[in-house]
Amino acid sequence: MEHLAQLDGKYDLICFNWLLHHLVGNSYSETRRNIAAAIEAVIPLLTSRGRVSIFENMYNGLLFDGLPSHLIFTLTSNQAIAGFTKKMGANTAGVGVCFLSQKQWVETLNHTSLNLLKYSDDDKWGIPLKWQIFLHLGNIRCGHFWLVTQTC
């Protein structure tokens, strides 16, 4: 992100396509700060009518909305159990990943200086029963956020 300051142009559109959940830090809270910092870092690069497009996967909890996010981060970032998490289907085993729920994404975006223009859902995905139980998953779907620097 430090290299973004070297860009001197302005852009009408900046896209984050399934990127932000990979900005893993040394802890869950640091990872969440990395996500917010990446979004904030592109704001100076936008034209006055510029937009930010974010495609991400929404991992919504059964009863506790943000619990899958914490569980998945904790399990996938633990190198000691990377073999186990890989067998459970995590392609980021030992590295970490930070999927957020739709509510967590909206909260994160509301703490930026961008305005949420529109949100769209894709269909819910089929989830293996072991993921539903072990990760407290209610549903997973792709979501798309349109953000603007001003209200259009």
Taking only the tens place, the pLDDT of each residue in 17-72 is 999 999 999 999 999 999 999 999 999 999 999 999 999 999 999 999 999 999 99
Q: Residue 21, Cβ neighbours under 10 Å: how many? A: 22
Burial of 114 (0-12, 13-18, 19+ CB in 10 A): buried
Number of domains in the chain: 1
8: Cβ contacts below 8 Å, ≥ 6 apart: none
Taking only the tens place, the pLDDT of each residue in 117-140 is 999 999 989 998 988 998 999 999
How far is CA 14 from its chain centroid?
A: 16
Answer whether residue 66 is part of any domain.
yes
Q: Which residue segment(s) compose the domain that 126 sits in?
A: 9-148
What does the buried/exposed string (b/e) look like for 71-108 if buried means 16 or more CB atoms within 10 Å of the residue's CB? bbbebbbeeebbeebeebebebbeebbbbbbbebbeeb
Answer whether residue 3 is part of any domain.
no
Residue 115 banded pLDDT, cuts 50, 70, 90: very high
Query: Would you say residue 3 has pLDDT above 70?
Result: no
Distance CA 142, CA 131 (A): 17
Domain CATH code at residue 22 = 3.40.50.150
* Full-model pTM: 0.89
Q: Name the residue among 124, 141, 138, 127 with its Cα closest to residue 63.
A: 138
Answer whether residue 109 is part of any domain.
yes
Taking only the tens place, the pLDDT of each residue in 78-99 is 888 888 888 777 777 778 899 9
Query: Would you say residue 152 has pLDDT above 60?
Result: no
Answer whether residue 120 is part of any domain.
yes
Q: What is the pLDDT of residue 64?
A: 95
Answer whether residue 95 is part of any domain.
yes
Distance CA 120, CA 141 (A): 10
Answer whether residue 4 is part of any domain.
no
Answer whether residue 1 is part of any domain.
no
Query: Would you say residue 101 has pLDDT above 60?
Result: yes
